[in-house]
Amino acid sequence: MAASKVPALLSCAFLLLGAAAGYYSPPSPASCELKVGYYHHKCPPAEAIVKSVVGAAVRQNPGVGAGLIRMLFHDCFVEGCDASVLLDPTPANPQPEKLGSPNNPSLRGFEVIDAAKAAVERACPGVVSCADIVAFAARDASFFLGGRGVDFDMPAGRLDGRVSNASRTLDFLPPPTSNLSGLVQSFAAKGLGVDDMVVLSGAHTVGRSHCSSFVPDRLAVPSDISPSFAASLRGQCPASPSSSNDPTVVQDVVTPDKLDSQYYKNVLAHRVLFTSDASLLSSPATAKMVSDNANIPGWWEDRFKAAMVKMASVEVKTGNSGEIRRNCRVVN
C-alpha cells in the first residue's frame, strides 16, 4: 500500500483487501464513511485554507509541525479521532484530555488549529469539523516537513466528540518508557499492527522532548544508549528534571526539522531518546523493519503515508455520535 494517493473513498474495498492480505485490521463501519474530497461540494476551499494556515505556522516554527503530527496521534488514541484533545477545561469537566500528563505541557499546535478553524468558519460556517481539521493539519505538517515524499490525501467526514477525560490519556497513550510488548499492545488496541507502530514511531525524527521524558531512565549506567550521545544529553539536561527545570532537546540531532527516515538510522546507532525507541531493536522482526526503513530509499515514506491515513480512521464519530463544533475548544 505504497501509493501516495489513496482511492477517492477510503472504502471498505481498500481496507478489506489490506486486511485479507494481512496488512491491516478490518475497517470499522464508521471509517468506511470517510472519503477523500469529502468537502469538495460542502466547502470547496476547506483543505486549501487549512494547508495555508499550517504552512505559515511551520515556516515560522518547524516544531509546531511536529506538534500537529503528534496531536493527531494523541487525539486518535483517546476516544478516537474526534478532536476531544482540543477541549478546554470547564466547571462541568475540569480535567479534559489536554490536561492529562501525556499532553500537558508538551502538546502544542492548538493555536494553529484555532486559526484554521476560524478561517474555515469564515468561508463555510458550521460545515467543517475540528476532527477533520486536526487530520488535515497533521497531513499538511507532514508535507511541509517532509516534502513531496510525504504528500498524501487525507479522507474526511469525521464528527467532533463530546467526551474528554484526562485520565483516559494514561489508559491509551503509550509512555516513552514502554517496552516493545507494551507498544504492540497499545497499537493493537486501536486496530494498528506492529508495522504501523514501527512506521509511526518514525515521527520522532522531528520535534523536541522534555528531559523528564527520558531522564534518568535512559541515562542510567549501564544503558544501551551511545556513550557520546548520553554525554551530550547530560550536558543539556539536569540530573533530576523538575517542573521548574525541565528543558527540551531535539529528538533527531542529525535532521531535527526534517520528516525523514533518519530516525531509523539513529535507532540503529543507539542515538535515540526513549526506551520505546530503543525497544524497536529488541525483536528480530521489528529490528528488520527498522533496518528496511533506514536503508531502502522511499520505503519508510510510503508506509508512513498509509499508516497516517489508517491511524486517522480510528474510532471516528459519524452519524448521531458527534457534532460539528463552532469553536474547537468547547462543545456546542
The residue ranges of DSSP E strands in the chain, in sequence order, are 208-210, 248-250
22: Cβ contacts below 8 Å, ≥ 6 apart: none
> Which of 41, 74, 210, 270 does the annotation list as catalytic?
74
Whether 262 is covered by a domain: the verdict is yes
User: Is the pLDDT score of 9 beyond 50?
Assistant: no
Do 294 and 264 touch, CB atoms closer than 8 A?
yes
Q: Write out pLDDT tens, residues 255-271.
A: 999 999 999 999 999 99
Would you place residue 33 in the very low, low, confident or very high pLDDT band (cuts 50, 70, 90)? Answer: confident
Residue 28: per-residue pLDDT? 55
Do 308 and 72 touch, CB atoms closer than 8 A?
yes
Do 309 and 155 touch, CB atoms closer than 8 A?
yes
Would you place residue 42 in the very low, low, confident or very high pLDDT band (cuts 50, 70, 90)? Answer: very high
Measured CA to CA, the distance from residue 303 to residue 198 in angstroms comes to 10
Amino acid at 293: N
Q: Which three cell numbers stand for residue 3?
A: 501509493
Per the prediction, the chain carries an average pLDDT of: 92
Whether 331 is covered by a domain: the verdict is no
> Domain containing 173: what range?
45-207+251-312
Measured CA to CA, the distance from residue 119 to residue 46 in angstroms comes to 9
Residue ranges for the known binding site are 75, 78, 80, 82, 84, 97, 174, 204-205, 252, 255, 260
Would you place residue 182 in the very low, low, confident or very high pLDDT band (cuts 50, 70, 90)? Answer: very high
Whether 123 is covered by a domain: the verdict is yes
Q: Write out pLDDT tens, residues 200-224.
A: 999 999 999 999 999 988 998 788 9
Beta-sheet pairing, 208-210 with 248-250: antiparallel
Q: Which three cell numbers stand for residue 152?
A: 498524501
Whether 70 is covered by a domain: the verdict is yes
pTM of the model: 0.91
Residue 19: per-residue pLDDT? 46
Whether 28 is covered by a domain: the verdict is no
* Percent of the chain residues topping a pLDDT of 70: 90
Residue 221: per-residue pLDDT? 79
Residue ranges for the known binding site for substrate are 174
Residues 83-108, mean pLDDT to the nearest whole number: 96
Among 226, 233, 231, 238, CA closest to 266: 226
Q: Could you confirm whether 40 is annotated as catalytic?
A: no
Whether 160 is covered by a domain: the verdict is yes
Measured CA to CA, the distance from residue 74 to residue 178 in angstroms comes to 16
Do 22 and 16 touch, CB atoms closer than 8 A?
no
User: Which CATH number goes with the domain that contains 114?
Assistant: 1.10.520.10
Among 106, 164, 110, 104, CA closest to 133: 110
Whether 229 is covered by a domain: the verdict is no
Instruction: Quote the number of domains for the chain.
Output: 1
User: Is the pLDDT score of 14 beyond 80?
Assistant: no
Whether 1 is covered by a domain: the verdict is no
Residues 105-114, mean pLDDT to the nearest whole number: 96
